[in-house]
């Protein structure tokens, strides 16, 4: 297809979301960028881009942003459900409000995002859903209890969606990174957990660049529609757990 198709990214104002928006834009795709910090997205100055202030907990905001972008650039061919928050702490000292925030954003937000484009992809019998999980969706950590729960949820719904959508030729890819150089640590409000995380990060020689994740997503997307990379699990070489 000569015309590059529209891609959409939530959590596009920083980290892997920002890097993915930049990678697809550089590859010639129009991009719908969605996040709460619209100033950060607009400051990137990417061409053929729509920036929408969206909280993924609000279904109407996502649906309106998608409809606006599709009216200008055609249907979304790839949606990266990336927005998430990591409030890490041992559960005995973690405020329940942090559980609520992670559950609402990391689980319901993913479902809201997927639903905004899924039916159109099914009708066209084409499309790719990339869903952000974590290494914490494959193994548990004692100071990640609720966060792990939300990411195990992501893996569960992604497996179910992949099986269901395969009959419609729609691909579902899960991204499960380990330690990445992003702003994720700004969400860790528990001082002890934050100090331990930073110490481990130094021990393993730092995290992986978000740009590497973005390139892997772009490469998986560019495969023929009949070829599916089911999961991308990326960690620093020295990360053992």
Q: What angle do CA 24, 28, 34 make, to 5 degrees?
A: 45
Tokens of 191: 């001082």
Concerning whether 197 is annotated as a catalytic residue, the answer is no
The 3 state secondary structure assigned to 120-144 is: HHHHHCCCEEEEECCHHHCCCCCCC
Task: Given the residues 147, 152, 197, 241, select the one marked as catalytic.
Answer: 147
Nearest to 7 by CA among 134, 173, 166, 151: 173
Question: What are the structure tokens assigned to 227, written together?
Answer: 């070829």
Q: From CA 137, how far away is CA 142, in angstroms rounded?
A: 13
Catalytic residue numbers, as ranges: 147
């Amino acid at each position: 297809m000569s015309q590059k198709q529209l891609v959409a990214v939530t959590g596009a104002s920083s980290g892997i979301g920002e890097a993915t928006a930049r990678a697809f834009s550089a590859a010639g795709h129009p991009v719908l960028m969605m996040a709460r910090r619209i100033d950060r997205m607009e400051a990137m100055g990417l061409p053929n881009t729509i920036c929408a202030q969206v909280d993924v907990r609000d279904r109407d905001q996502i649906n309106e942003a998608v409809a606006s972008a599709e009216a200008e650039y055609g249907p979304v061919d790839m949606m990266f459900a990336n927005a998430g928050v990591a409030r890490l702490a041992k559960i005995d000292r973690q405020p329940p409000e942090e559980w609520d925030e992670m559950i609402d954003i990391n689980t319901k937000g993913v479902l809201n995002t997927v639903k905004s484009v899924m039916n159109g992809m099914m009708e066209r019998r084409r499309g790719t859903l990339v869903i952000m999980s974590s290494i914490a969706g494959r193994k548990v950590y004692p100071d990640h209890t609720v966060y792990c729960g939300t990411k195990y949820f992501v893996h569960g719904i992604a497996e179910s969606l992949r099986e269901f959508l395969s009959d419609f030729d729609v691909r579902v890819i899960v991204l499960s990174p380990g330690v990445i150089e992003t702003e994720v640590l700004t969400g860790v409000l528990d001082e002890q957990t934050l100090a331990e995380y930073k110490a481990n990060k130094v021990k393993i020689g730092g995290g992986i660049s978000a740009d590497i994740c973005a390139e892997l997503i772009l490469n998986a997307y560019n495969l023929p529609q009949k070829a599916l990379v089911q999961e991308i699990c990326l960690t620093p070489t020295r990360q053992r757990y």
